[in-house]
Amino acid sequence: QVQLQESGPGPVKPSQTLSLTCTVSGGSISSGSYYWSWIRQPAGKGLEWIGHIFSSGSTNYNPSLKSRVTISADTSKNQFSLDLTSVTAADTAVYYCARTAVGTLDYWGQGTLVTVSS
Amino acid sequence: EIVMTQSPATLSVSPGERATLSCRASQSVSRNLAWYQQKPGQAPRLLIYDASTRATGIPARFSGSGSGTEFTLTISSLQSEDFAVYYCQQYNNWSPVTFGGGTKVEIK
């Protein structure tokens, strides 16, 4: 059973960089079959896809966030990470990591709330 | 960007009744459409992919239909655990992958 767990340093101040890590167990992120994704959800609102990384290291980002987003992977630790620069209050949300199989998000982490506040 | 529009925003249904949720795409997504269920404080759960294929472990009372721009999720007989928010997602165009705004199914 694949499991994903988000982790991060907690609150972030405006203009700083939000950094999160997703640790995957029960499967290897090096497997050529899957993409590994980040999605976020502001409180009481819908889901926004941030981007994903493939086992080859290729990435694809939401154009609305592309200038501020980097997704990377550490295969030795079976982890992938999200960096979002120059954050504002609008980036406050629950951030989820998920496995993507042929476009569908079939396994999700429990989510982590990131608050941007001074 | 493909815009996904869900209706209604809220659906009030009695337990045991049928619920029909709609999702419309701003352009054709073929059958590259998934449905998710989200309960408060939980991550979304994949219900349906390829418009009509149930994900592993999903009860048969959940069914999906449609293609192109019009899709439907039907819950044949609502159980107490089915009251939740439901999202559709297109994956025909990955730049970006997009979700609908959600339909909340509440107890009538």
Burial A15-50 (b: 16+ CB within 10 A, else e): eeebbbbbbbeebebeeeebbbbbbbbeeeebbbbb
Nearest CB partner across the interface for B101, out of A46, A64, A108? A46
Tokens of B48: 């349906």
What does pLDDT average to over chain A? 95
Contact assignment for B97 to A108 by CB distance below 8 Å: no
Chain B partners within 8 Å of A48 (Cβ): 99
How many other C-beta atoms lie within 10 A of the C-beta of residue A53? 23
Across the interface, which of B92, B94, B99 has its CB nearest the CB of A60?
Answer: B94
The residues facing A99 across adjacent strands are A36, A107
Residues 6 or more apart whose CB falls under 8 angstroms from that of B4 comprise B23, B24, B25, B26, B88, B89, B90, B98, B99, B100, B101
Torsion, Cα B62 B67 B70 B75, to 10 degrees, reads -10
Q: Kindly indicate the confidence band of residue A12, based on its pLDDT and cuts at 50, 70 and 90.
A: very high
Q: What is the pLDDT of residues B18-54, one digit of tens each?
A: 999 999 999 999 999 999 999 999 999 999 999 999 9
**Residue A55: pLDDT above 90?**
no
Distances A99 to A79, B41, B67 between C-alpha atoms, Å = 12, 19, 24
Q: Please say whether the beta carbons of A50 and A59 come within 8 A.
A: no
Give A45 to chain B, closest Cα distance, Å: 8
pLDDT band at B9 (very low <50, low <70, confident <90, very high): very high
For residue A32, pLDDT beyond 80: no
On whether the CB atoms of residues B38 and B83 are closer than 8 A, the answer is no
Residue among A46, A49, A111 minimizing CB distance to B97: A49
- B92 neighbourhood in chain A, CB within 8 Å: 103
* Residue listed under structure tokens 């590259």: B32
